[in-house]
Structure 1
């Protein structure tokens, strides 16, 4: 007896932006905090919309100047028992994945404690294409 075929659900999402493997030396330097940061953006004190705009503008500037590593300071995500904070940090991955910069982002990693730890991210940009 033939079994009915079930319709497949939605296709699995592609690899999230910046989660692809990168060079071992880059990974080692990011994990150890021995990385040269080209630009820092601090999103503390912004509301969500303002933080989103500030992030986009900072990535525009970073791209224009040929930066490779941007440190994004957003604050830590709080647990469910704590004050409702950390909304910017929670939204960062979505903002990066849906931005016009997504194709330029090589990696997104948690920052080393000396650079903000769980309250910050490294955004590693691809090398600029030469014309």
Structure 2
């Protein structure tokens, strides 16, 4: 018989953090700093982004972060010389459905050692508007829940869906210590 898993689920961890924030330390004891948990859902991520005060561009630290694939890698993926080891199709889903499916898909792919995946967002409505998922997915890939998983991403080549799809390079798994 194996021992039960004593690690907290994400929902339990969020609940625990809420309870821990509402408590007061005993007399003579210092309060323990509890770090802000990463948003668990798309709604929480959007709320946290919207609630942060805007900082003037002059006061904002300069960060040069490139999330696009390098040209040789992009060309190898486009020509089929690098294998696309997984793909997920988000067509016809709401943002909430697409967000949770994409996050769980990328977690499974990363855990499985997959390096390159194709995320199909679709191009959007035929009435000339740009698709909601087409705009949202690249922004999601830069948020805290995706950062430990995603190394870089870029629009796919025409034969893989063009502007309606993204190549995503997943980070390598860190070596496991004994």
Sort the TM-score into its range (normalised by shorter chain). 0.7 to 0.9
Q: Please give the secondary structure, in 2, of the residue aligned with 1:108.
A: strand
Asked if the contact 1:33/1:114 (under 8 Å) is kept, the reply is no
5+ long unaligned stretches in structure 1: 1-6
Q: Deviations over 1:55-107 (max 9, x none)?
A: 1011111111111011000011569xx35451001001211111423133222
Name the one with the larger strand percent: 1
2:163 aligned to which of 118, 122, 127: 118
Q: Please give the secondary structure, in 2, of the residue aligned with 1:97.
A: coil
Q: How many residue pairs are counted as aligned between the two chains?
A: 120
1:61 aligned to which of 108, 111, 126: 108
Match of 2:149 in 1: 104
Q: Please give the secondary structure, in 2, of the residue aligned with 1:57.
A: helix
- Paired with 2:104 and 2:111, the residues of 1 have a C-alpha distance of 11
Q: Please give the secondary structure, in 1, of the residue aligned with 2:87.
A: strand
Q: Structure 1 residues 42, 90: closer, same or farther in 2, change over 3 A?
A: same
TM-score by length of 2: 0.58
Higher relative contact order (CA 8 A, sep 6+): 1
- Paired with 2:124 and 2:93, the residues of 1 have a C-alpha distance of 15
Q: Please give the secondary structure, in 2, of the residue aligned with 1:102.
A: coil
Larger radius of gyration: 2
Asked if the contact 1:106/1:125 (under 8 Å) is kept, the reply is yes
The answer to whether residue 68 in structure 2 is matched with residue 11 in structure 1 is no
TM-score by length of 1: 0.77
